[in-house]
Structure 1
Amino acid sequence: MASAPWLTIVGLGEDGADGLSSAALAAIAAADVVTGASRHLALLPGLTAEAMEWPVPFADGIPRLLALRGRRVVMLASGDPFWFGAGTSVTRHLELGEWWALPAPSTFGLAAARLGWALETTVCLGLHAAPLARLRPHLAPGVRALLLLRDGAAVAELAAWLRDAGFGATAMTVLESLGGPRERVRRTSAAGFDLTDVAHPVAVGLEPAGDGAVITAAAGRADALFDHDGQITKRPVRALTLSALAPRPGERLWDIGAGSGSVSIEWLLAHPTTQATAVEADPARAARIRANADRLGADRLQLVQGRALDVLEGLPPPDAVFVGGGLSEALLTALWERLPAGCRVVANAVTLESEALLASWHDRVGGSLLRIELAEASPLGGRRGWKSAYPVVQWSVVR
């Protein structure tokens, strides 16, 4: 650990030096090197230190910054560097004590102040380099969302994406260069968006509206949300399966024989810090899983194509495992030998042979064995009757 910070991360607003604290101004005045995007450097025309423009892509600047250890360095970043900003991209390479940070008001804070929105109940997303579909789980009437976007073209792309998703009636407030002399706030709708001169940096406030499907918050989302070929854990059974898997923040799931990916996608929708690996041998199904995940805002899903027994080695260790397809004695044996203590395992079976296998493992290592029988009302002549689905046997156990 360094004896004193060699790096100062300064949050810079659109008003440049006028908005900086005395501590930030002192750090810049004492610096040997000031680095930042060309836009940031231009906001400080009186620099006496060596100016080093941060390259594109951003990651290329990390080695150059680390090579400056031992010198007094100021890194310029937008607003609050640790809220969808550049701060963590840099500090993950440093030891605690090598830097200190002087944040400015965040774009989120400035936008909320302009709109009169309660920031603690507003969805805040940084979509500079992330897919717009990450917004998809949040599209519902009554929600308010603030988005940071790459540039004006990205705002037009957002409007088109909202229209395609069935949310063309969404109110859009476009907020440009907040806190500076070029600040501008304009209101439109996704359906009526026709702005051609949106300037960077830009944020957008959204109030979703339209007839697009809303992704519900509880486990057991509608089957219609998932493209599938029939190989899907149906909604009621999926809800019970996710209840047994019990996702917790930060945990990772292995979804083996993932089919449509519905279980692993719902696991990811449970919390923004959860992770999941879907294993699927069939190439067409694997492509379908990828498309489902990307469309529903779960693009962080790790997809591995291949037979589970061939690809499990080397995967990040899981906190929970779901076996939805490919259930066999060999697979359960391999899992039991490999999984860490405390890992939760859930397996569903429909065939008599798979039921017998789960019953055998339940007898050997314990856990819970649940038989799920569901029936749905359907036409029966001029009346209605119960149409039963195949019963599902679910085994859940902690390793």
Structure 2
Amino acid sequence: MGEDAPDGLSRASLTALRGAEFVIGASRHLGLLPEIEAEQIVWPVPFADGIARLLALRGRRVVALASGDPFWFGAGSSIARHLEPGEWAALPGVSTFSLVAARMGWPLERTECFGLHAAPMERLRPALAGGVRMIVLLRDGAAVQDLGTYLVGAGFDASQLSVFEAVGGPRERRVDVSVSDLFDKDFAHPVCAAVEVQGAGAVLPLASGRADDWFESDGQMTKRPVRALTLSALAPRLFEHLWDIGGGSGSIGIEWLLAHPSLSATVIEPRADRVGRITQNAARLGVDRLKVVEGMAPEALAGLAPPDVVFVGGGLTAELLHWLEAKLPAGTRIVANAVTLESEAMLSAAQQRIGGDLLRIELAQSAPLGTRRGWKASYPVVQWSVTL
């Protein structure tokens, strides 16, 4: 429950406060409370220590304070998952997003909303395009400059910001500023920014099969046209988990995650240098939730969260295919790509054994041919897809 202003407390919130034995919250929240008899506890840093302090009071009447709506980039879900149904009740207030959208006159359903209290600025990357409006919750005043630096580095240096301090409370302040004029100003926590994105920065496409230059690579990468066909075969569905075996640059796992925030993925890659590159690619494109495991399949697969879908792009062996067939449950989807004659033979044998579809992908691009142009063919790719 909670608001930044005491006169914004609902009747239900006031009733809960007056019946509480303990009230725990940030010092700024406690300082806004009316006179109450409950013992007041300052929520400690780091945040997890506060949860331990709260759980130590289990069975008592406790009120935990949070700004606005605690279940929208707030503390609500972090607390509730430690408690049983019936042990707690939430009394949400108006969210910071709603308050800022109302100040700006923006339709909230068409505004991108981000909570970056403890997340990197790169989370913004998929949404950066001219004309986009976003509301960004930030860790502290210094993070406003971090946001400006990130926008400039991404090529969106013409963006306009409205920075809000303590929105909804008695200390509320608004500063309208362009990115270029941002860096000589100071801001105080709690702070958020409403951003109108403008500039000539590169825009990440929405369709699968992004250009190869979005990914750092040593050359071991599923190239754009084949990647688009592979993502189509993988066919991500809400809440599914992917194993990307033989990650290379991580492009398949990254594009899988870009399809929807509910998706998850684990990349398995045997080379340490590629593991680092995959992690950097994922972070730069805003999907730092990608899990990267260094190791050789199938040995490295033991103990991993089970997949709904498996992609084999590297390290294809008959042993791996038999392991997947034996260990994974019915309904798991597998897509594997092969380039060599030997790996083609493995996929052909697998299809004969358990079914599925084989697709041969042959691509050619125009290239100089003497004084003219001709078609330069790539190695054909054979793709096997099956549902166990």
- One-letter code of the match for 1:11? G
Q: 2:366 aligns with which of 347, 372, 377?
A: 377
Kept after mapping to 2: 8 A contact 1:34/1:75: yes
Deviations along 1:204-246, one digit per CA (max 9) or x if unpaired, are 1112222221111111111100000110101110011011111
Residue aligning to 2:85: 96
Contact 1:345 1:396 in 2 (8 A): yes
C-alpha deviations, 1:40-99, integer Å up to 9, x for none?
Answer: 111115232011111111111222212212211111011100000000000001111111
For 1:204, the equivalent position in structure 2 comes to 193
State the match for 1:228 in structure 2: 217
What's the counterpart of residue 337 of structure 1? 326
1:177 to 152, 156, 166: 166
Superposition deviation, residue 352 in structure 1: 0.6
In structure 1, C-alpha distance between the alignment counterparts of 2:187 and 2:126, rounded to whole Å:
26
**Which digits, 9 at most, give the CA deviation of each residue in 1:155-179, with x for residues without a partner?**
1011011111111112221111112
Kindly report which structure 2 residues correspond to 1:65-80, keeping only aligned pairs within 5 A, or say none.
65-80=54-69
Amino acid at match of 1:289: I
Aligned partners of 2:342 and 2:59: how far apart in 1?
A: 67
1:11 matched to 2:11? The reply is no
Tell me by how many angstroms 1:379 deviates.
1.9
What amino acid is aligned across from residue 280 of structure 1 in structure 2? E
Provide the rounded CA distance (Å) in 1 between the counterparts of 2:344 and 2:98.
Answer: 55
Distance 1:328 1:191 in 2: 54
> Deviations along 1:249-272, whole A, 9 cap, x unmatched?
111100000000000000111101
Q: Secondary structure at 1:278's aligned position in 2?
A: strand
2:234 aligned partner, one-letter code: L
Asked if 2 retains the 8 angstrom alpha-carbon contact of 1:152 and 1:196, the reply is no
Contact 2:142 2:186 in 1 (8 A): no
C-alpha deviation, 1:190, in angstroms: 2.2
CA shift, 1:312, in A, is 0.4
Q: Is the 8 A contact 1:133 1:294 kept in 2?
A: yes
Q: Work out the CA distance in 2 between the residues paired with 1:11 and 1:377.
A: 63
What is the aligned partner in structure 1 of residue 153 from structure 2? 164
Partner of 2:12: 23
Of 291, 304, 314, the match for 2:303: 314
2:314 matched to which residue of 1? 325
Q: Which residue of 1 aligns with 2:121?
A: 132
Q: Look up the equivalent residue of 1:244 and give its one-letter code.
A: A
Task: Name whichever of 66-75 and 269-278 sits farther off.
Answer: 66-75
Moved more, 335-344 or 247-256: 335-344
Question: Who is 2:264 aligned against?
Answer: 275
Q: How does 1:75-86 map to 2 (within 5 A)?
A: 75-86=64-75
Q: Which amino acid aligns with 1:368?
A: D
Amino acid at match of 2:168: G
Q: Secondary structure at the match of 2:126?
A: helix
Shift of 1:382: 2.5
Distance 1:129 1:87 in 2: 15
Residue number among 188, 193, 196 corresponding to 2:177 in the alignment: 188
Amino acid at match of 1:113: A
> Of the candidates 235, 242, 248, which is equivalent to residue 253 of structure 1?
242
Which of 25, 28, 36 is the matching residue for 1:36?
A: 25
Give the whole-Å Cα distance in 2 for the aligned partners of 1:343 and 1:142: 40
**Secondary structure of the corresponding residue to residue 135 of structure 2:** strand
Name the stretch that deviates more: 222-231 or 68-77: 68-77
Q: For the residues of structure 2 that align with 1:295 and 1:156, how far apart are their CA atoms? A: 19
Q: Which runs of 5+ in 1 are unaligned?
A: 1-9
Q: Which TM-score applies when normalising by structure 2? A: 0.98
1:114 deviates by: 0.6
Give 2:246's aligned amino acid: G
Distance 1:181 1:325 in 2: 58
Counterpart for residue 138 of structure 2: 149
Please give the secondary structure, in 2, of the residue aligned with 1:300: coil
Give 1:134 deviation, angstroms: 0.5
Is the 1:177–1:200 contact (alpha carbons within 8 Å) kept by the matching residues of 2? yes
| Stretch deviating more after TM superposition (271-280 or 186-195) | 186-195
Structure 1 counterpart of 2:108: 119
- Tell whether 2:247 aligns with 1:237: no
Query: Do the aligned partners of 1:317 and 1:340 also contact (CA within 8 Å) in 2?
Result: no
Q: Which residue of the partner structure matches residue 51 of structure 1?
A: 40
**Which ranges in structure 2 are unaligned for 5 or more consecutive residues?**
none
In structure 1, how many angstroms separate the alpha carbons of the residues matched to 2:56 and 2:64? 14
Equivalents in 2 of 1:188, 1:353: separation in Å?
61
Supply the distance in 2 between the matched residues of 1:141 and 1:24 (Cα, whole angstroms). 41
Give the deviation of 1:195 after TM superposition: 4.2
- Which deviates more, 102-111 or 162-171? 162-171
Larger CA deviation: 73-82 vs 40-49: 40-49
1:361 maps onto 2:361 in alignment: no
- Looking at structure 2, the residues matched to 368 and 180 of structure 1 have their Cα atoms a distance apart, in angstroms, of 61
Paired residue total: 388
